[in-house]
Amino acid sequence: MTTPILLTPGPLTTSDRTREAMLRDWGSWDSDFNAITGRIRKQILAIVHGEGTHECVPMQGSGTFSVEAAIGTMVPRDGHVLVPVNGAYCQRIARICRTMGRRLSTLNYPEDRIMQPADIDAALEQDKTITHVAVVHCETGTGVLNPLEAIAAVVARHGRGLIVDAMSSFGAIDIDARKIRFDAVVAASGKCLEGVPGMGFVIARREALAATEGNSQSLALDLHDQWQYMEKTTQWRFTPPTHVVAALDQALQQYMEEGGLAARGARYARNCQMLIDGMAALGVRSYLERSVQAPIIVTFHAPDDPHYDFKTFYQKVKARGYILYPGKLTEVETFRVGCIGHFGDAGIPGAVKVIAEVFTEMGVQAAACAA
C-alpha cells in the first residue's frame, strides 16, 4: 500500500528519514536521549533568534496542550486576557481562558478579515486591567495570516504580555524575537517543522517565564515546573514522547539542510501559489483575498452544484492518493487544502489534477463555484 499524501495542516506528510528515526527505542533517563532533547530546544530557539534571551520548553501532547500550558502559566490567576477572534483556533484560546478561570475579553472579526492592531490599541487603552493579549498568527481554520508584528508593537507599547499561537506558521513564517516582543510563542512538532505529532513547545521570554512560579493551576501543564526540572536534570518531568522527539530531531536536521526558514517558507509559498492557480483554472474560488492568505492552508468554496458532496469528493480523492481537509466555516460550504508537508513539487499539481478528475467523475461543474 502506498501511503497517501496528506494535504492537511498537521499531521502532515513526513519524510522517510523522519519516520525511520522512530525505529529505535530510547530510555527517558538515557543521556543520549536527553542530549537530543537539549539539541532540539537549542535549535528551536535559534529559529526565532532567541538565544540568550528566551527559553524553549517542550511539552507532551498535541499543540493545544502547549497553548493551554502557556496561558495557564504565563497569565496569573487574577490576570485578564484579551483575545482577538477571527477563527476557530482563536475561539479555542478563549475557551481555554474560560475553562481555566482566567478573566477574558474578546474582539470579534469576520473569519475572512485580519485582526486590527488599532482595535487592540484602543482596547488596551480603555481597559488597564488587561494583562495579556493572546493571538493566533496563522488562523488555520481559514488560512488567514494575522499582522503579528504590528500587534506585538501595540502590546509592547502598552507594556502588556503577548502570547502567540504560532502553531501553523512557526518555522515557515518569520518570527524574530530580536524584533518582536512576546512572552510566549507556541508551536508543535507536527506542523511546519515536518515532524510527527505528539509534542509542542513554548518559546518564552526568560524574564517573563521566571516570574510565573505558582501561576499554573495544572500540574501536568505547568511550564515553569517543566522548565525548572529540565534545567536541573536535562530530563522531561514525566514520560517523554521519545519517538516523537527523535523524529523531530531528524526533521530539524532536514529543515536546516533545506536552508531553514527562508527555504521552507519559499517552498510552501510556491505550493500555495500553484494550488490557488490550479484550482482557479478549474473554476474553484479560494475563500480569502490573496493579501491576507498565509501560505499554509487554503480554504476553497465548495462547487455550487447539486452533484457535489464533500464526503464523496473526499473518498474519491483519497482513493487516488490525496487526503484533503473539511472546511471549518459554519456560514459557507468550503473545503481546505494544506500547502505544508514533505512532498515533492509534483504534490500540488498532482492533487489539482486528481481533483479535476474527481469533479468530472462526479458530474460536478467546477466552474459553477462562481460567486
Ligand X SMILES: *Cc1c(COP(=O)(O)O)cnc(C)c1O
Residues at the binding site for substrate are 336
* Cα–Cα distance measured from residue 275 to residue 298, given in angstroms and rounded to the nearest whole number: 8
* Cα–Cα distance measured from residue 153 to residue 159, given in angstroms and rounded to the nearest whole number: 10
Least separation in angstroms between CB 324 and ligand X: 16
Q: Please tell me whether residue 242 binds ligand X under the rule CB under 6 A.
A: no
Choice between 4 and 61, CB closer to ligand X: 61
Q: Which three cell numbers stand for residue 331?
A: 456560514
Q: How many residues bind ligand X (CB under 6 A)?
A: 13
Considering only residues 55, 68, 165, 249, which one is a binding residue for ligand X as defined by CB under 6 A? 165
Choice between 75 and 354, CB closer to ligand X: 75
How distant, in Å, are the alpha carbons of 43, 127, 235 from that of 231?
16, 37, 8
Shortest-Cβ-distance residue relative to ligand X: 63
- Residues between 129 and 148 that touch ligand X (CB under 6 A): 136, 140
Least separation in angstroms between CB 344 and ligand X: 24
Choice between 104 and 188, CB closer to ligand X: 188
Q: Three-class SS of residue 357?
A: helix
Residue numbering of the annotated binding site: 336
* Cα–Cα distance measured from residue 159 to residue 136, given in angstroms and rounded to the nearest whole number: 19
Least separation in angstroms between CB 81 and ligand X: 16
Least separation in angstroms between CB 329 and ligand X: 15
Considering only residues 10, 198, 240, 241, which one is a binding residue for ligand X as defined by CB under 6 A? 10
Binding mask 77-96 for ligand X (x = CB under 6 A): ------------x-------
* Cα–Cα distance measured from residue 59 to residue 188, given in angstroms and rounded to the nearest whole number: 9
Percent of the chain that is helix, strand, coil (3-state, to 5)? 40, 15, 40
* Cα–Cα distance measured from residue 50 to residue 41, given in angstroms and rounded to the nearest whole number: 11
The DSSP secondary-structure symbol of 27 reads -
Q: Please tell me whether residue 168 binds ligand X under the rule CB under 6 A.
A: yes
Choice between 104 and 135, CB closer to ligand X: 135
Q: Please tell me whether residue 189 binds ligand X under the rule CB under 6 A.
A: no
Binding mask 37-66 for ligand X (x = CB under 6 A): -------------------------xxx--
Look-up of cell digits 504560532: 166
Instruction: List strand residue ranges (DSSP E) for the chain, in order.
Output: 5-6, 54-60, 80-85, 103-108, 132-136, 138-139, 144-145, 161-165, 184-188, 199-205, 297-301, 322-323, 325-326, 334-338
Interface residues with ligand X (CB under 6 A) are 9-10, 62-64, 67, 89, 136, 140, 165, 167-168, 188
